[in-house]
Amino acid sequence: MKEAPSASRIISWVLKGICFLVIFGVIAFLIIRIVMADYYPASMKRLYPSEELVAAYEEDPTLAMHRQELRVSYDDPNFSLFMASNQFYCPKTGEFQITLRYNVSTLEEMQKDFALAEIPSPDPALFDISLVDNSGHRTPLTCVWTESKFMYQYMKLVTSDVDFAKDPGWIRVEIYYKDAVDYAETPYSCIPVYEKELVERDLVYTLQEEDLLPW
């Protein structure tokens, strides 16, 4: 007859099991964070078929779109509130599209920074977002699509009014909280999304009909 395991051995097994689960949980969490660091939903990677862009394509089927790899995709290297990605622009029509992403923890920071009574719910209407070039010209952006995934919120932002004929040296996204908008003051967040000196490295491609299918 086998001797029953002692209490100390059982405790040892339990502790080893707990340690294994903790280590596994930490590794799984880190893997998810690494994967999510560069994750964007498929809709946020696509070109949005704005009315202006569709009309321009119908007039000129050889219309070219540009994509520029952003040199800096976040607003702060130490404590980023927002990140930008998936930029599209068309110098001929003034179309500019960009995706902004933020962690839900950004909403907690906003509550502290603006002394809000409670943590706001994710909503594009919380923000005043526009493009500003090196000459100070401001172009409002419209949020046409939103998604959420795990701890992140995503916004697809579009305008058809960037005047590339003025040859801007750079363009950045500026973000203000809706109840604290003062363009004379430093924005709550800003991210460079276009640099003239990088244009020669742009990915340039001709629009295809499938690029403009309705969402």
pLDDT at 39: 84
Q: How far is CA 74 from CA 38, 161, 193, in A?
A: 12, 24, 10
At 72, is the pLDDT very low, low, confident or very high (cuts 50, 70, 90)? confident
* This prediction's pTM: 0.84
d(CA 113, CA 58) in angstroms, rounded, equals: 47
State the amino acid at position 73 in one-letter form. S
Please list the residues that pair with 169 across neighbouring strands: none
Residue 160 · residue 95 · CB < 8 Å: yes
Residue 162 · residue 53 · CB < 8 Å: no
pLDDT at 129: 98
**CATH code for the part of the protein at 42-212:** 2.60.40.10
Question: Who has greater pLDDT, 8 or 166?
Answer: 166
Reply yes or no on whether the pLDDT at 136 is more than 60.
yes
Contacts of 190 (CB under 8 A, 6+ apart): 75, 132, 172, 173, 174, 175
* Burial tier of 146 (Cβ tally within 10 Å: 0-12, 13-18, 19+): middle
d(CA 110, CA 59) in angstroms, rounded, equals: 44
pLDDT at 215: 83
- State the average pLDDT for the chain: 90
Reply yes or no on whether the pLDDT at 188 is more than 80.
yes
Please list the residues that pair with 189 across neighbouring strands: 175
At 89, is the pLDDT very low, low, confident or very high (cuts 50, 70, 90)? very high
**Averaged over 61-72, what is the pLDDT?**
93
Contacts of 177 (CB under 8 A, 6+ apart): 110, 113, 114, 126, 127, 128, 188
pLDDT at 10: 74
Question: Who has greater pLDDT, 187 or 26?
Answer: 187
Question: Who has greater pLDDT, 177 or 33?
Answer: 177
For tokens 């992140």, name the residue.
152
Percent of the chain with pLDDT over 70: 90
Apex CA 73: angle with CA 46 and CA 189, to 5°?
Answer: 110
pLDDT digits (tens, 9 = 90+) for 16-59: 778 777 776 666 555 555 555 578 999 999 999 999 999 999 99
Question: Who has greater pLDDT, 23 or 121?
Answer: 121
At 74, is the pLDDT very low, low, confident or very high (cuts 50, 70, 90)? confident
pLDDT at 51: 94
Contacts of 164 (CB under 8 A, 6+ apart): 89, 91, 92, 94
Which three-class secondary structure state does DSSP give residue 42?
Answer: helix
* Burial tier of 101 (Cβ tally within 10 Å: 0-12, 13-18, 19+): buried
pLDDT at 28: 55
